[in-house]
Every structure is written in C-alpha cells, then in structure tokens.
Amino acid sequence: MAPNHFSFSSVLKACAGLKTLDASKQIHCLSIKTGFCLDLVVGNALVDAYSKCEYMDEAWRVFDEMPNKDEISWTTLIVGYSQNCMGNEALSAFKLLRNRGVDPDQYMLASVISGCGAITSEIHGRQLHSYSIKVGFGSSLFVQNALVDMYSKNGSIKSAHKVFGFMENRDVVSWTSLIVGLAQHGMGEKALFLFDQMRMAHVKPNHVTFVGVLSACSHVGLVDKGLFYFELMSKDYGIEPGYDHFVCMVDLLGRVGNLEEAKKFIDELPIPPGPLVWQTFLGACKLHGNVKLGKLAATHVLELSPHDSSVYVLLSNMHAEAGLWEEAARVRNMMRERGARKEVAYSWIEVRRKVHKFVVRESMHPEVEEINELLKVLLRHMEVDGYAHNGQSALRGDAE
C-alpha cells in the first residue's frame, strides 16, 4: 500500500522520539521520491525529526525549502534551535518570522526566551519579556516559566524571583526553574527553603527538581539533608534515582571530603557508573589531595573516554600539587601521545551590548594593560580580605 502524508508524519514522529538520524534520512528520501516532501504536515514532521536528532542544518534546509509554512513550522524550528542550545539562531529565526509579518504564539515566544537563557543573553531576554507583555502573553504560564528559567540562567535571580512572585498559577516547571537557578548560583539554603514551600503548596516535584535540591545540598555541604532528600525522592514521590542524581550524590559526598563513602556509593550503584560519575569523583579527589583514589578515578574515566583532555589535566595537576613532578610530566606526555588536546578555555563579558572575549594570558585585547592594572588592584583588595592564591595547579602548559 502506498503511504500518504499521515503515514509519513506518523513515522517521522517515531523517528523524532527515538532520535534516529539514519531512519529520518531514509524517510526523507522516500518522501522526496513520492512527492510528499512538499506537504506542509510532512515538512513540519521532518523539521521536528531533524531537530530532535540534533541535525539543525538539515532542519533549516527542509524549513527553507517548504513552499508553505504555518505557525507550527516556525515554532518547530525555533524550539529545535532552543533545545539544541542554539539561542542566536533561535533569535534570528524569530526576527525573520516578525519581518515576514507572522504573529508568534505563546509557545513560540517561550521557546525563543529559553534560547536566550541557553546563550545567557539577558538583554535580548528582557526585550522579549517586554514584547510578551505588549502582545498580551505576559500572564501565559509557558512564557512566565521561560522567563524564570532565562533570568535564573543569566544569574538575575532577583528578576527571576519577581516574575515568579507575580505568577497567578505555578506548576512544577515554575518551582523547579527557580530552585535549580538558586542552586546553580550558590544560594543553596534559599533553594531548599523554596523546595519546602513547594511541598507545602502540594506541588509534586519531578526528577529535575530533585537534581536542583541535591545540587543545593552539595553547594552548601549539607550531607545529611542530601541523603534525606535522596531517600525521600523514591520513598514519598515514587521517583527512581537516575544518573544525574547519582552524580549529585557523589559530588555531595566528595566536596566535604567523604571520599571513601563516595567510592562506596559508586561501587553500589544499580547501573554502571559513567564517565561523569568518575569525573566528579576525580574532581573531589583533587580538591582534597587524595592521589591514590584520584588515580583510580582517572583510570575509570580514561577507559570510557580515552580522549577526554580534562581528565589528563586534572590528574597532572593533582600530581603537581603533591610534588610528584615526574608523574605530572608522564601524564602530560600520555595526553600528547593519545592525541587528546585541551580546548582553549575562555571567558566573556557583555558590556554595553558588546561581547568581550578573553583567553588565558590575554594579550590581544585593545585595553589589556588597563584590565591587568585593575586586576592587580582587585587582587590586593582580595588579599587584604584573606584570599590566598594557590598557583600550584597552574601548570606549565595549561594555556595550550
């Protein structure tokens, strides 16, 4: 029997759910052969499938070649960009949509606001916030949740709190976005207080909420509370702990120096510990100078991700801090032999709508001398307040 546009859209929805790129391409080819690729419903399904498969170049190409587009087409594309952390592209698509006279709906607007959170662009986020009020979506739950999430990711916790406070209705996403934002910005006590309020409001938390709660416990060193909430998750809410929760628990135990307990927790996991679990444990070992357990963690990570440069750097720095310079050099040589290259790290700051980007030992910025002088002044103030610089781990080659 010959497939029709309903058949194509249904099977493409399955491809999107499974995130299977090869099958999506095959169905795409068949739709071209049968002439259904120009159908609006099939085109939208193709954009969605490629977006879910993180293949946004092809998603854009399909979208661009569609003879007709509706609100679903634009929303699917913008959501795809936002979910793939391509906030700039989501903004560009939104601008193109407005230039073509298409009025966005609340879902489209919420998606592009989320994109601003992904690229930490508060200026654009605030503009979209104003726009949402002007077009009557200021009280939309989807838009308000996106605003709380965007402001939280940008570090504007006060603005996130303000939006949250004005919400007439709140769901689990509303509470979770603010809890996670507070936890990520070192406000662990406030995050836990908000979680208690959420429970008193009879809003059932989900697995992401507990990631935020456990992360909050980790940042403020509340081990007993972390263990309590870890058990509460399955006991009271029927949420089975997942990989992200295990990583949080290893981080919680490791940060306070309970390395043996963290190692025992890893050994008793119901699933094979992935690289992130061992990387988290390795970071804790470095923090507390335990070279023996650090070597064990690094061995496990390198078995799973042999080209992960961060592991070599952490292990090398750990040896250097312990005065084991030959071991540190050996790890660096191993890193070069295996072709693992450390990506250049950079910091950036946005000042007056212009982004300034800095790498280690910056020398190309036109105001680098003034910046270095100001840094020296700030360092002197920090030292007066008790800050002690630890330069042991600033190894030769960290700026490679």
pTM over cut 0.75? yes
Q: Identify the pLDDT of residue 301.
A: 86
CATH 1.25.40.10 assigned to 242-343: yes
What is the C-alpha to C-alpha distance for residues 107 and 144, in angstroms, rounded to an integer? Answer: 11
State the maximum Cα–Cα separation within the chain, in Å, rounded to a whole number: 80
330 Cβ partners below 8 Å, 6+ apart?
none
Identify the CA nearest to 284 among candidates 256, 249, 311.
256
**Are 145 and 177 within 8 A, CB to CB?**
yes
φ, ψ of residue 335 in degrees (nearest 5): -60, -45
In the chain, where the domains are located: 242-343, 345-400
297 Cβ partners below 8 Å, 6+ apart?
278, 279, 281, 282, 285
**Are 248 and 212 within 8 A, CB to CB?**
no
Q: Identify the pLDDT of residue 329.
A: 85
DSSP output for 56-68: HHHHHHHHHH-S-
Strands (E), 202-359: 346-351, 354-359
Q: Identify the pLDDT of residue 398.
A: 45
Q: Count of CB atoms within 10 A of residue 317's CB? A: 19
**Are 311 and 298 within 8 A, CB to CB?**
yes
φ, ψ of residue 242 in degrees (nearest 5): -110, -175
What is the C-alpha to C-alpha distance for residues 90 and 100, in angstroms, rounded to an integer? Answer: 15
What is the C-alpha to C-alpha distance for residues 290 and 259, in angstroms, rounded to an integer? Answer: 9
For the chain of 400 residues, list the mean pLDDT of each consecutive stretch of 10.
Answer: 91 95 95 92 96 95 94 93 89 91 90 82 89 94 96 92 95 96 92 96 96 94 94 94 96 95 96 93 91 90 81 82 82 74 70 74 80 90 76 46
Long-range CB contacts (within 8 A, 24+) of 288-297? 288/254, 288/257, 288/259, 289/318, 289/321, 289/322, 290/259, 291/318, 291/319, 291/322, 291/324, 293/259, 293/263, 294/318, 296/263
- 163 vs 50, 141, 192, 314, CA distance in Å? 33, 11, 19, 40
Identify the CA nearest to 116 among candidates 136, 84, 90.
90
Q: How is residue 85 written in tokens? A: 């952390």
Helix axes 243-255, 223-237, angle to 10 degrees: 160
What is the C-alpha to C-alpha distance for residues 178 and 302, in angstroms, rounded to an integer? Answer: 35
What is the C-alpha to C-alpha distance for residues 213 and 227, in angstroms, rounded to an integer? Answer: 11
Q: Identify the pLDDT of residue 347.
A: 76
Q: How many residues are present in the chain? A: 400
Q: Identify the pLDDT of residue 389.
A: 62
- In the chain, how many H helices and how many E strands? 21, 2
162 Cβ partners below 8 Å, 6+ apart?
none
Identify the CA nearest to 144 among candidates 161, 124, 123.
161
Q: Count of CB atoms within 10 A of residue 222's CB? A: 19
